[in-house]
Chain A
Amino acid sequence: MTAVARVYRWEIAKLLAQKRTYLGLGTAVAVPIIFVVVLVLRSGGPNDVPLGRYIRDTGLAVPFVVLFFMSIWGLPLITALVAGDIVASETHNGTLKTILTRSRERGEVFAGKTLATATYTLTLVFAMGLVGLAAGSIAWGFRPLTSLSGTKVSAGHGLVLLLASLAVYALPLAGIAAFGVLLSTVTRNSAASVVGALMWALLMQLLGVLPGTESIRPYLLGTQFDAWHGFLRTPADWAPVIRAVWLSALYIGLPLIGAYLVFLRRDVAGE
């Protein structure tokens, strides 16, 4: 096993030993279940969101609708919960000095932490999507999906579209996570980093709804949460997907480079 892989393995083990990880994952899984239960018990539904009208047609529509609602602050919050803590928790526990006086270079430690954060972020999105699919399918069956263009998509093809959508959806979320890692490294304070990363996400949403921001809107992080719509059109519209990929790469890369440089050089004193 390479050095980074060993650090990564222990970062995952540490996440699995901490309550906040389960709080985040638990929320990600509980939300679609609660959503389905409420819709089963009550009439009416989220008719004005994409695919909302078809929510009782097939379980396949459920994860898409949940993704829409959770992109506003739900997923950013539970992503930030772990991302903002990933370096700051070492400060809090005073363990940075413990692990940095072994044989691993700082860069290797940082890489392990970043990969663990990415793993958590991906797990959140897929857990939420697949649990939503399962809950929805139990309630309304695993049936063909009506696309955003109004065409029928077979259930099997719909599942492929869902997985692709989840992957693309995870990109901007990883951008928020990367910002959380940056704050976690710079502020050394878990609460400040969690709140700061959430504020970053909300700011991006806010900029997107203000009048006069139309020209920058396609480039805001929040906008990329809708990139999956491209998959659900006939024919598929790749433009938003491609834009989400390169924009998210910037939103992920820049904070991570900053965090990396800070982590490499910072004084570890009193922590």
Chain B
Amino acid sequence: MSDALPVETRGLVKRYGEIVAVDHVDLSVEPGDVFGYLGPNGAGKTTSLRILLGLIRPTAGSARLQGRDPLIDGAKALEGVAGFVEAPRFYPYLSGRRNLRLLADYDEPVSRARIDEVLELVELRDRAKDKVGGYSHGMRQRLGIAAALLRAPRLLLLDEPTTGLDPAGMRDMRELVRRLAGEGITILLSSHLLNEVEELCNRVAIIRRGAIVYQGRLRELLDRAASTYRLHALDPERARAALLAQPGIGDVRLDGALRFSADEAAVAALTVALGQARVAFTALVPETATLEELFLGMTDGESSDHDRRAPVAV
């Protein structure tokens, strides 16, 4: 059982009447992955995670966590697994600390020190005595992480952990995810924020209308797209000649600006060649198919409300 994948779904289907929320999804998350589960809102990410956590029953197919099926093994399938779907929720009339004590008792009771430790980690110790009803969205999100960490998980399932957070909160959350991944925790992170996935994840699955349209290494996905560049030169014709003479440069066309395709090394060499040929240019801009463009291509641009200007964490 130890060599079983942290997450493995086969032919997973969830149907609500006519609507197919999850359509034959095969996910494979490997140990140590920070796995990005990417898709527009309503694509079926949360539904898949609910099935993984044993909250809903799939119509067909199987979901296994470390070889155990929540449908068959019940709560035992969640051993070493923690996380949340949608926003983490707590009892509003209990304090943050009491909520954690309660949840710890739903596992094996833990020491007060351990609760302090996770509260410290998510920077909620000062507010631990206050009722959760008065917490901001970001604080609840952090309490959700604290509650998950109480279980000392080997696998963490996080559903859009930065959604609704302010820029600083997003940065802190990503920092935390990175840190946890650094401690060897396998993380399955759903998101509709491309820069987040690009920044954190090594492998991704892209889901569209319930079905997986890509699954694999993020790097390979990015490499798969041929990169294109745009060059603004003072004398486009001379620049064009220089481009055509340069190895590794292809698809040269002139439509206002010069456009061509090349890999990064060829572009670097090009800048030197342009300088040596005394071809002056004002801009050389990558028009790379970013993850975003790949994503929009794969999902037919149906990303309804993803935030293109989402701040990038540093």
User: In the complex, what's the smallest C-beta–C-beta distance from A95 to chain B, in angstroms?
Assistant: 5
A94 and B89 CA atoms in complex are apart in Å by 6
Q: Tell me which of A17, A95, A101, A103 contacts B55 (CB under 8 A).
A: A101
> Contact at B105–A10, with CB atoms within 8 Å?
yes
Q: Does A215 reach chain B (CB closer than 8 Å)?
A: no
* Docked complex: B21-55 residues within 8 A CB-CB of A: 47, 50, 53-55
Q: Does A47 reach chain B (CB closer than 8 Å)?
A: no
A contact residues around B88 at 8 Å (CB): 98
* Docked complex: B69-97 residues within 8 A CB-CB of A: 74-75, 78-79, 82-94
A265 and B106 CA atoms in complex are apart in Å by 20
A contact residues around B89 at 8 Å (CB): 93-95, 97-98
Q: Does A243 reach chain B (CB closer than 8 Å)?
A: no
> Contact at B56–A101, with CB atoms within 8 Å?
no
B contact residues around A7 at 8 Å (CB): 106
Interface range on chain B (Cβ under 8 Å from partner): 20 to 34
- Residue on A nearest B85 in the bound complex, by CB: A97
Most chain-B CB neighbours within 10 Å: which of A9, A13, A93, A101? A101
* Docked complex: B86-136 residues within 8 A CB-CB of A: 86-94, 98, 102-103, 105-109
Given known pairs A18-B93, A101-B55, the reply for A268 and B50 (CB within 8 Å) is yes
> Contact at B84–A101, with CB atoms within 8 Å?
yes
A268 and B92 CA atoms in complex are apart in Å by 19
> Contact at A105–B75, with CB atoms within 8 Å?
yes
Given known pairs A95-B89, A97-B53, A267-B57, the reply for A6 and B106 (CB within 8 Å) is yes
B contact residues around A10 at 8 Å (CB): 102, 105-106
Most chain-A CB neighbours within 10 Å: which of B85, B87, B151? B85
- Residue on B nearest A6 in the bound complex, by CB: B105
Q: Does B147 reach chain A (CB closer than 8 Å)?
A: yes
> Contact at A269–B106, with CB atoms within 8 Å?
no
User: In the complex, what's the smallest C-beta–C-beta distance from B114 to chain A, in angstroms?
Assistant: 15
Given known pairs A10-B105, A14-B91, A93-B91, the reply for A102 and B74 (CB within 8 Å) is no
> Contact at A267–B56, with CB atoms within 8 Å?
yes
Given known pairs A10-B102, A98-B89, A268-B50, the reply for A103 and B108 (CB within 8 Å) is yes
> Contact at B75–A103, with CB atoms within 8 Å?
yes
> Contact at A95–B90, with CB atoms within 8 Å?
yes
A14 and B105 CA atoms in complex are apart in Å by 14
Most chain-B CB neighbours within 10 Å: which of A17, A98, A99? A98
A269 and B106 CA atoms in complex are apart in Å by 20
A101 and B90 CA atoms in complex are apart in Å by 13
> Contact at B107–A103, with CB atoms within 8 Å?
yes
A contact residues around B53 at 8 Å (CB): 97, 101
Which residues on B are within 8 Å of A, measured CB to CB? 47, 50, 53-57, 74-75, 78-79, 82-94, 98, 102-103, 105-109, 147, 151
Which residues on A are within 8 Å of B, measured CB to CB? 6-7, 9-10, 13-14, 17-18, 93-95, 97-106, 265, 267-270
